[in-house]
Amino acid sequence: MEKIIISVFSIGFILGLICRLIPSRIKYIKEIIGGFASVFYLFFSISLFKTSSYYITEIFLIDQFSIFISIFISIFTLLTLIYSFSYFENFENSNRYYCYILWTLTCSVVAVFSNNLILFSVFWGMLAITLYLLLNISGDENAYPAKKSMIIVGGSDSFLIFGICGLIYLTGKYTITDMKIFIASGLEIGIFFALICASLAKAGCMPLHTWIPEISENTPSPILAYLPASLDKLLGIYLFSRILLNMFEYQIDLHSGLWFILRLIGSITILCAVLMAIVQHNMKKLLSYHAVSQVGYMVLGISTNLPSGIIGGLFHMLNNAIYKSLLFFGAGNVENKTKIVELEKLGGIGRFMPITFFTFLIGSLSISGVPPFNGFFSKYLIYQALFQGAKDGNFEWLVWIICAMIGSALTLASFLKIVHSVFLGHLKEYKEKISEVNFSMLLPVIILSLLCIIFGFGFIYPVKIFENSIGIFIEKGYSFLIPTLTLIFVSLIFGFIVFSIFMINIKKARVVSSFVGGEKRLEEMELSGVEFYKTIEKERFFEKMYQGARKKIFDLYEDFKRIIFYFGEGIRATHTGVLPTYLTWILFGCIVLFILFMKF
Amino acid sequence: MINLPLFVIIPFGVAFFIPMVSRKIKWVPDVLGNLTTFILLLLSLMTLNQEHVYHIGGWKPPFGIVLVLDGLSCLLLIIINLISFMATLFSIEYIEKRFTSKLRYYSLFLLMVGGMNGTVLSGDLFNLFVFMEIASIASYALVGFGCEASELEASFKYLVMGNVASLFVLYGVALLYGKTGSLNIADVARILKEIPSDNLVNFAFVLLIGGFMVKSALVPFHAWLPDAHPSAPAPISAMLSGVVIKALGVYVICRLIFNLFGFNHLISQTLIYLGVISMIVGVCLALLQSDLKRLLAYHSISQIGYVFVGIGIGTPLGILGGLFHLFNHSLFKSLLFLDSGSIEYQTGTRDLNKMGLLYKKMPITSFSTLFASLSISGIPPFNGFWSKLIIILAAIKSGKSIIALWAVIGSILTLSSFTKVLRYSIYGKGEKWEKEKWEKLKEVPDTMVVPLIILSLLCLFTGLLIIGGTEGIFASTIDVLEGSVLKYINKVLGS
């Protein structure tokens, strides 16, 4: 078995290397290799899943959970590659792109399947390199955001190393499954947070989230959909749940404080990121803030330490990966046709890109938690856990509930904004005629929107898989949702039939421009979706907050940069270049040694 | 069994031979220089896993001069001769274009190599001092090799501070000789064990350690390095940062502490704290630099801090981490300096703000810079990751988790600094980047590319040397340091 796994992993690396060596101008070979590799990994993971061949050794950890994650890693890779087929058709760096995507795929799967902590940290660290390289292929304007991401993600990996060394020291073992640490001392708390820090930086949770909005402006949509939207969420939350469920032991009296901090991080992330999202004018940046905000739900859910919260958090991780990559792909379609990402300059293209519009709408409804789409059910489970916690009238949990609810409402509001500004409203002027994108760019969004629906109506199956794989079961059950779902399903079908009949009748309707009291319609009469939300920025409390955010005072990266530069400048000022000063330092050093080592 | 004096005789011989024969024929210095370093590399590889005490002229110690080959000297020999071969290979084109008088260059280079080989093999204190001086004087000359004002100034500073250090060392040696009547390290150690320790010995210890700390550029003894290393020609910078500070500094400190004076808690604490200070101060200063070579020079201070932390921890795992990092640092730092040399060779600048988008024009230099940057930042699977991992693990295991945390912070800052380098030079562009100049760029000549590729691959694969941990390939080296003073005495003097 071990040999099979190792050879499977080597195939990914070798195929990636082959892609790198093929010149960019030669078409189709790289695409075929990439597609083959992802399909190969998909079948490999599915075959493991089907045969239930679980395999836990000192090196590999192949259980239902890791297999399930690896299946989705492969699916997302495949969809991204299908999407890239048209998107990167004439891309000058396509050989590098395919190579790094395949390496990312391989490293992710190995990281998920590894039981050995060192192996895990190696492949986890290599993911930072592939992220960095992928971000850099899109041109020199992405060099700074790529640098920032590398420092945050790669730097947090250093904390992971610290945490892993600590785990090895505490247990004397190297395997994830052998860890069960009871947090009692300061060192253990340090190790706990070092590991958490690594997982949250990868997933993009506050306060380590700033790399995601930063990269969103100049990075091509497939890369955004692949890394920060789907894979990094799967991996980050995978590690997060392994830390909370496998590596550390929870005892309510002693550890509620630590878990409280996690819940706080989750809630703040939900609220602040969505507040940032709502005022964005750049479509991709808006989506990227939502990518941050949704992590808050997962962190909040898993750190409730209640069955429905944990399952809900994990399910939300999966759902988020689905609809967020769907949304990024949709944004990519719009950008591909209009070459515009600013919401003010977009409008009215829904009619020309109906499939993109429809799928984007499904994605928006899913992320906003509207039933019967998948986002609703995962959020529902998380809310269940929060209500269960608040049952005793505990004030703390009420705050979490309020944060989560406001977060959901604002998510819906900001998606109304984006859907309205991009797809509805008056048609703006574009350089080229707008039409629907290629099939290869539509197929991924169609598949993903179908997944949104399937995981909505059929939420029981993924939930059961999560329950079985981590061995935690929701006590109360969720079967009462099924009649409601059936009702929704039936009424939707009924509604669709009525709508179709109605559409047949109004086919001959004529289309005229809006009637504005006989006046000529002018530019300034138009209200883009962005205008409406500007009022939020002007509210007294929020105004300060947004000003602070613009100055990047909430950006941990910038804060540390300031401190280090301040410190560095101080030391530099002492380096005057004057020889006698330097000689004095040597003398000073010797005197210190003298005092230390002489016995008086 | 290898004849140990060859490591000294060959480079010194060729160093004097080159100016004699090659005044007329242009290619002779290149061929002789490269051949010598290559032969030395082969010889040093043959010393792997060997232990040998060579008595010069057959005179038994403590009266005769001995050359001692053990795990530690073997490691250093390999580092010295590997990097010097890479540097001479790189020099062929580099010196041709940028400097004159190749024969003087190779002479000085080989004197430096011979001096370092002698230092790491020498079994007695006075010879160690002499060899160290030979290597140091050659390096002073090489730092000022360009003969421009800034280079001469840097060389002068280096000379003054280096000489102060040498005087400390000489005085320390003299005091020890006065106290024990012997110069042989093993014999001095034997006598010191027998007599009660007093302040004279402690004073000698302070002088020796202080002197060698200047050579290894620990904060606050570091001030010469940021001037000297960038001023030298790139292959010499690679030698200085990659090898000289280790052979003349770290190695001797290890030898003296572990095999002569004996390791204790106070020494351990001193090394660790000085290491941590160097680690953080060096990297903070590096972050502010925009001169590529100066930035690299500050990182040398920082990385030497890691080595001292590892060795200062003193457990087998810590020593393994320290020594492995020493080995890795010599690879990636010399690679980085060679990369900076190639960039300077083509673009004519060391200022990061004037560079940009090199990955399109100089792909091999770019990829080797990427490899080296990831190595020094401790990103897996490159070699720097493994040594840092072991240092952090060793620190936590010996109950020094705060030190481990500092190492982590240092690592993040190093990553920040090198992503900055990559951002300005390779993937993005600086503010003063000029398109016209950039369009004329091309990859450096083949003889300069080869060392870059070899060192990059070594950075990628030497992580594998860690397999086996303390029982692996480094076992004999750790054994030298971990074993008591007595072990060394017995080995050299015979029990």
| Residues from chain A contacting residue B284 (CB–CB below 8 Å) | 564, 567-568, 571
| Residues from chain A contacting residue B371 (CB–CB below 8 Å) | none
More confident site: A131 or B25? A131
Alpha-carbon distances of B1 from B5, B44, B49, rounded to whole Å: 12, 12, 11
pLDDT value of residue B76: 92
pLDDT value of residue A375: 86
> In degrees to the nearest 10, what's the CA dihedral of A15, A16, A21, A22?
70
Whether the pLDDT of residue A70 is over 80: the answer is: yes
Alpha-carbon distances of B22 from B17, B26, B32, B86, rounded to whole Å: 8, 7, 10, 22
Nearest CB to B408; choose among A140, A161, A593: A161
Interchain pair B380, A564: CB under 8 A:
no
Pairing of strands A248-249, A181-182: parallel
Amino acid type, B384: G
| Residues from chain A contacting residue B199 (CB–CB below 8 Å) | 598-599
Three-state DSSP at B67 gives strand
What tokens were used for A58? 């000192």
> In degrees to the nearest 10, what's the CA dihedral of A179, A180, A183, A187?
-10
pLDDT value of residue B86: 93
Nearest CB to B423; choose among A123, A147, A572: A147
Three-state DSSP at B54 gives strand
A494 touches chain B (CB under 8 A): no
- Backbone φ, ψ for residue A114 (5° rounding): -90, 140
Q: What is the mean pLDDT of residues A187-211?
A: 89
Whether the pLDDT of residue A525 is over 70: the answer is: no
Interchain pair A154, B388: CB under 8 A:
no
Residue percentage of chain B with pLDDT more than 90: 48
pLDDT digits (tens, 9 = 90+) for A382-408: 888 888 888 877 788 888 888 888 888
Report the gap between the CA of B272 and the closest CA in chain A (Å).
13
Whether the pLDDT of residue A505 is over 80: the answer is: no
pLDDT value of residue A526: 66
Report the gap between the CA of A114 and the closest CA in chain B (Å).
15
pLDDT value of residue A175: 86
More confident site: B246 or A24? B246
Q: What is the mean pLDDT of residues A135-154?
A: 88
What tokens were used for B5? 């004096």
pLDDT value of residue A527: 66
| Residues from chain B contacting residue A123 (CB–CB below 8 Å) | 380
Interchain pair B160, A136: CB under 8 A:
no
| Residues from chain A contacting residue B207 (CB–CB below 8 Å) | 590
Lowest mean pLDDT of A456-460, A530-534, A585-589, B430-434, name the range.
A530-534
Whether the pLDDT of residue A533 is over 80: the answer is: no
Whether the pLDDT of residue A272 is over 70: the answer is: yes
Interchain pair A586, B423: CB under 8 A:
no
| Beta bridge partner(s), residue A282 | A342
Q: What are the structural domain ranges in chain A?
A: 556-597
Q: Which chain B residue has the Cα nearest residue A560?
A: B413
Interchain pair A123, B168: CB under 8 A:
no
Going by pLDDT thresholds of 50, 70 and 90, the confidence category of residue A528 is: low
Under-50 pLDDT residues of chain B = none
Say what the ipTM of the complex is.
0.91
pLDDT digits (tens, 9 = 90+) for A395-444: 888 888 888 888 888 888 888 888 888 888 777 777 777 777 888 888 88
> In degrees to the nearest 10, what's the CA dihedral of A236, A241, A247, A248?
120
pLDDT value of residue A508: 64
Interchain pair A151, B415: CB under 8 A:
yes
Q: Give me chain A's average pLDDT, please.
A: 84
pLDDT value of residue A478: 66
Nearest CB to B379; choose among A129, A190, A565: A129
pLDDT value of residue B89: 92
Q: What DSSP assignment string belongs to A225-254? A: HHIIIIIHHHHHHHHHHHIIIIIEE--HHH
How many other β-carbons are positioned within 10 Å of the β-carbon of residue B291? 16
Interchain pair A150, B285: CB under 8 A:
no
Lowest mean pLDDT of A102-106, A329-333, A550-554, B231-235, name the range.
A550-554
